[in-house]
Structure 1
Amino acid sequence: MPKATIHELRRSGVSQEEIELAKATQAAQRRNGAPVQSIAVLVGAATPRQHHNPNPLADLTDRALRRRGAYDQAALLADQQALQESSPERAVKARQAATALKELSASNQIEFDFFGGGNVSIAFQYQDAVTERLFEAAKTAGQAKEAMSILWIICRYLSWQSYECTKTAADLCDLTRTDKAQMARSLNLLEEIGAIRRVKRGRNKIITVTPEGAFRGNINTHGQAVERYRLDVIEGGKSDNEK
């Protein structure tokens, strides 16, 4: 279908005001990086053509989404919806929402992005993930069970609404009647699978667990707890494996 000229649009009854509004919309589309529609389409005198999309829709199958955290899923859906928006203003808002969600995403925070059922000492999902990994990584089932029991003692002695354990490795040896070699093996295994991190603070090595494995207080403050953990532990500390 040949492109309608401004003159032809005026002859068909389109007002100058509608044409000027369509031009302003085109300018907004260019600024926002959205597909620029013709004036004829914007004033309703023509139907939009299907163009090749340089940004094809991502894989939104259940299997693909399960690989992402909840925030990543929401960000992806917002981004994909922005690509389909005919309104540049709505597309901009969708992209802004996607950006905010990406900042909250699990990939930028903590691997175990679980909320459980509210205020809990150890999230059930965290337990399940750690248990599965321990049996996969440990040389024997006995070593996996030993490390699992050590982790629950670590979580038992976390500071109030904190991810830091108040007990040292030596303290844990006394509490669990475990020798130093066994304790070192269990802690190494737990750190290997991402269940804990050990951070050098002065002369001490502080054992920490993720906010998902620790009591985190009000669920609405989970984002702040994760950010504090990232700054204090991931960026501010140095784990044994990084030395």
Structure 2
Amino acid sequence: MSRIPIYELRRMGVSQEDIEIAQKTQEAQRRTGSPVQSIGVIVGAVQQRARHNPNLPVDLSDRAMRKRGTYDQAALLADQAALQEKSPERAMMARQASKTLKELSAAQQLEYDFFGGGNVSIAFQYQDAVTERLFEAAKTPAQAKEALSILWTICRYLGWQTYECTKTAADLCELTRTKPPHMADALKLLEQVGAIHRVKRGRTKIITVTPEGAFRGKVSAHAQTVERYRLGVIEGGKSED
């Protein structure tokens, strides 16, 4: 089934911004007379099934697969294999395997590991690692301290259940009383040590923080947020130097 209620999409970790963009896409499809896709299909939460036969496998194109994590890809393949199985018993086993893979996907988290210490998902460990790297990479202790101050302001203004800071570089200048050239240097330094990533969205540069280091939202939505971060920022984002 390709149609999912909006409240369910939000629970799956789809942002309000993505939902609004999908709604605008639907309006454009209606204006042009094109087939109107569901919001779930547009945001990549579900796959569109063939219209002439709902039991046919979905299109497993490279583009569609890249939107999914490793376990989600395996789960999708298992689901499609179940659709093609002639044996009901084997089809049931394939669906059970798909369910297990989806559970693994929801539990999968990003590694944030500066020094080979394993999966570092506690905020204090993130702070310690970033602090140590900043003092090693900065030209002066004062520059490192300024970057740290700006980082905690970035973390203070993370959006709800997201990894994105709601403030732009210009906003941060005003909040921290920092001159634009100093802000540019601090953000570059923070990105250099892996504390943040910056990605382009239209003409805006969005500042993001790994959810493993700083997360503002429900714990139950953390895994989905981490997966969105991996797909949208680590693999799909355009880093800004």
Q: TM-score, normalised by structure 1?
A: 0.51
Q: Which residue of 1 aligns with 2:153?
A: 153
Work out which of the two has the higher radius of gyration on C-alpha atoms and give 1 or 2: 1
Amino acid at match of 2:205: K
Alignment pair present for 1:180 and 2:191? no
Q: Which residue of 2 aligns with 1:59?
A: none
Measure how far apart 1:231 and its partner are: 1.2
Amino acid at match of 2:239: S
Alignment pair present for 1:236 and 2:233? no
Alpha-carbon contact 1:216-1:225 (below 8 Å) kept: no
In structure 1, the gaps of 5 or more residues are 1-96, 117-122
Measure how far apart 1:102 and its partner are: 11
Match of 1:114 among 114, 120, 129: 120
> Percent same amino acid at aligned positions?
69
Q: Which residue of 2 aligns with 1:163?
A: 163
Alignment pair present for 1:213 and 2:219? no
Structure with larger RCO (C-alpha < 8 A, sep 6+): 2
Alpha-carbon contact 1:164-1:209 (below 8 Å) kept: yes
Evaluate the alpha carbon distance shift between residue 103 and residue 217 of structure 1 in structure 2; reply closer, same or farther with a 3 A threshold: closer
Q: 2:150 and 2:120 mapped to 1: Cα distance? A: 21
**Which residues in structure 2 correspond to 1:113-152 (within 5 Å)?**
113-116=119-122, 123-152=123-152
Q: 1:161 and 1:214 mapped to 2: Cα distance? A: 10
SS in 2 for 1:200: strand
List per-residue Cα deviations over 1:175-211 (Å, max 9, x = no partner).
1111111000000000000000000000000000000
SS in 2 for 1:237: coil
Q: What is the aligned-residue RMSD (CA, Å)?
A: 2.4
Q: 2:202 and 2:178 mapped to 1: Cα distance? A: 25
Q: 1:231 and 1:202 mapped to 2: Cα distance? A: 18
Q: Which residue of 2 aligns with 1:200?
A: 200
In structure 2, the gaps of 5 or more residues are 1-99, 114-118
How many residues align? The count is 135
Evaluate the alpha carbon distance shift between residue 102 and residue 156 of structure 1 in structure 2; reply closer, same or farther with a 3 A threshold: closer
SS in 2 for 1:210: coil
Measure how far apart 1:158 and its partner are: 0.7
Alpha-carbon contact 2:159-2:216 (below 8 Å) kept: no
Measure how far apart 1:219 and its partner are: 3.5
Alpha-carbon contact 1:155-1:213 (below 8 Å) kept: no
Amino acid at match of 2:161: Q
Measure how far apart 1:228 and its partner are: 0.7
SS in 2 for 1:198: strand
SS in 1 for 2:208: strand
SS in 2 for 1:240: coil
Measure how far apart 1:162 and its partner are: 1.1
Q: Which residue of 2 aligns with 1:50?
A: none
Q: Which residue of 2 aligns with 1:226?
A: 226
Q: 1:110 and 1:224 mapped to 2: Cα distance? A: 14
Measure how far apart 1:213 and its partner are: 2.5
Evaluate the alpha carbon distance shift between residue 136 and residue 238 of structure 1 in structure 2; reply closer, same or farther with a 3 A threshold: same
List per-residue Cα deviations over 1:22-44 (Å, max 9, x = no partner).
xxxxxxxxxxxxxxxxxxxxxxx
Alpha-carbon contact 2:112-2:121 (below 8 Å) kept: no
List per-residue Cα deviations over 1:90-130 (Å, max 9, x = no partner).
xxxxxxx9xx9899777xx34254343xxxxxx11111111
Alpha-carbon contact 2:199-2:237 (below 8 Å) kept: yes
Alpha-carbon contact 1:197-1:239 (below 8 Å) kept: yes
Alpha-carbon contact 2:111-2:120 (below 8 Å) kept: no
Q: Which residue of 2 aligns with 1:39?
A: none
